[in-house]
Amino acid sequence: MRLAVLLAFCAIGYGAERQDINVRVKNEYSVCVKNEYSLNPDTIRYFMLSLTSYEKELGAVFQYRCDSVSAAVVTIRLRGTPAGYQNADALGAVPAGNGNVLPKLDVFCDPVRRMLRARRPVTPSLEGWALAKVAAHEMYHYRWQKFGHQHSELSEGLMTPDRLIQGFQEIARLERQGN
């Protein structure tokens, strides 16, 4: 049911290229996705759909848009490239302040696309899946306030093209559940 509501939202919510999307994390915080890179609506739809595969691990529940955001908001910015002071090959980044992970997370679309192209042609569904995987990794840093990396799917420090597309077939199952 919740996924069907999400798909309905995605189908009607992407008229403009730059669209903000709000993700409510149950009883904890809201996550606002800012499409600063102006990704196409299909890629954004698959990005949001793919994030649902991390709901249990992250405790995320997708409910409403950024225009109804509460005071405690985490922002995931979908950007083209890292800033000049960041590693040019980074797929994402989290800023720090006073020893904490701050609630402004970045996902870099161009390095993700380069990595995907190393294995297969980039489609909206594959790109959305990969961007969601990077976003979930950055959300891991914020949610658990950890800068370091471990060896689980969400906390892996070194992403390879094969790891980035691992589980991509999951998108078909998620689409079927939404129908």
pLDDT in tens, 41-66: 999 888 888 887 777 677 654 443 45
> pLDDT (tens digit, 9 = 90+) per residue, 115-127?
999 989 999 999 9
Residue 133 in this model has a pLDDT that exceeds 80: yes
pLDDT of residue 28: 55
61 located within any domain: yes
pLDDT of residue 178: 62
What's the chain look like in SS3? CHHHHHHHHHHHCCCCCCCEEEEEECCCEEEEEECCCCCCHHHHHHHHHHHHHHHHHHCEECCCCHHHCCCCEEEEEEECCCCCCCCCCCCEECCEECCEECCEEEEEHHHHHHHHHCCCCCCHHHHHHHHHHHHHHHHHHHHCCCCCCECCCCCECCCCHHHHHCCCCHHHHHHHHHC
pLDDT of residue 174: 73
174 located within any domain: no
pLDDT of residue 45: 87
Higher pLDDT, 60 or 132: 132
29 located within any domain: yes
Q: How far apart are CA 121 and CA 68, in angstroms?
A: 37
57 located within any domain: yes
55 located within any domain: yes
The total of structural domains in the chain comes to 1
43 located within any domain: yes
Confidence of residue 80 (pLDDT cuts 50, 70, 90): very high
Q: pTM score, two decimals?
A: 0.77
Confidence of residue 81 (pLDDT cuts 50, 70, 90): very high
Neighbours of 88 (CB within 10 A): 11
63 located within any domain: yes
Higher pLDDT, 7 or 16: 16
* Average confidence score pLDDT of the chain: 75
**Residues of the domain holding 137:** 2-165
20 located within any domain: yes
